[in-house]
């Protein structure tokens, strides 16, 4: 329970309507080796909803925005940014841009090139996640030598094709 001074401070703070931004994986939910099974705790969902009645709240993630929105049913007041900022939804409206169309085409070309790699044909299965605007390679459960081989292949291909950034994760 907050003191009267604490409540007054919070009211003054929220009068200015700041935006509070939460990362999804690793902040609102624990990092998991099975990203599809991650569930947002009901109390967390309720607290974020309640906070959004006081101020602007955004949830950002590397996940596709459609996946992120599914985690927050009935939360039209939240702002969502998925796919590392490539997708945005504000008040039920998902914003699209010509850059997204170009990124999708470039990613399709990248995948065609990637499919030609011998490593792809022999070792790589469900650890590649195509998010439409980005690709994520989940190395967490891979053997270190295989992860290194893939890292080198990906970096070689991104250097050759241009227009991509490799962003290491945890």
The DSSP code sequence of 58-105 is EEE-SS-HHHHHHTSTT-TTSEEEEGGGTEEEETTEEE--HHHHHHHH
Measured distance between the N- and C-terminal CA atoms of the chain, rounded to whole angstroms: 36
pLDDT digits (tens, 9 = 90+) for 4-60: 776 777 677 667 778 889 999 889 998 887 778 888 999 999 999 888 888 889 999
What are the Cα distances from residue 46, in Å, to 51, 52, 55? Answer: 9, 10, 15
* Mean residue pLDDT across the chain: 80
Residue 102's pLDDT is what? 83
How would residue 124 be classed by pLDDT, with cut points 50, 70 and 90? low
Residue 24's pLDDT is what? 93
Residue 118's pLDDT is what? 57
State the Cα–Cα distance between residues 86 and 79, nearest whole angstrom.
Answer: 13
Residues 26/49, Cβ–Cβ less than 8 Å: no
Of the given ranges (48-62, 96-110, 118-132), which has the lowest mean pLDDT? 118-132
Is a pLDDT exceeding 70 seen at residue 169?
no
State the Cα–Cα distance between residues 157 and 141, nearest whole angstrom.
Answer: 23
Between residues 87 and 147, which one has the greater pLDDT? 87
Is a pLDDT exceeding 70 seen at residue 126?
no
| Predicted TM-score (pTM) above 0.85 | no
Between residues 108 and 125, which one has the greater pLDDT? 108
Residue 33's pLDDT is what? 74
Between residues 53 and 138, which one has the greater pLDDT? 53
């Amino acid at each position: 329970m907050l003191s009267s001074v604490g409540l007054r401070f919070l009211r003054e703070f929220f009068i200015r309507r700041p935006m509070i931004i939460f990362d999804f994986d690793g902040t609102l939910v624990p990092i998991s080796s099975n990203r599809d099974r991650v569930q947002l705790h009901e109390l967390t969902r309720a607290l974020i909803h309640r906070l959004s009645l006081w101020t602007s709240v955004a949830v950002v993630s590397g996940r596709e925005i459609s996946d992120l929105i599914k985690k927050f049913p009935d939360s039209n007041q939240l702002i969502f940014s998925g796919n590392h900022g490539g997708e945005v939804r504000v008040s039920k409206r998902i914003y699209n841009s010509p850059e997204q169309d170009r990124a999708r085409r470039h990613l399709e070309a990248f995948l065609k090139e990637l499919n030609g790699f011998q490593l792809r044909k022999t070792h790589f299965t469900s650890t590649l996640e195509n998010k439409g605007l980005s690709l994520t390679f989940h190395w967490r459960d891979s053997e270190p030598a295989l992860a290194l081989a893939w890292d080198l292949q990906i970096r070689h291909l991104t250097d050759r094709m241009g227009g991509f950034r490799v962003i290491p994760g945890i």
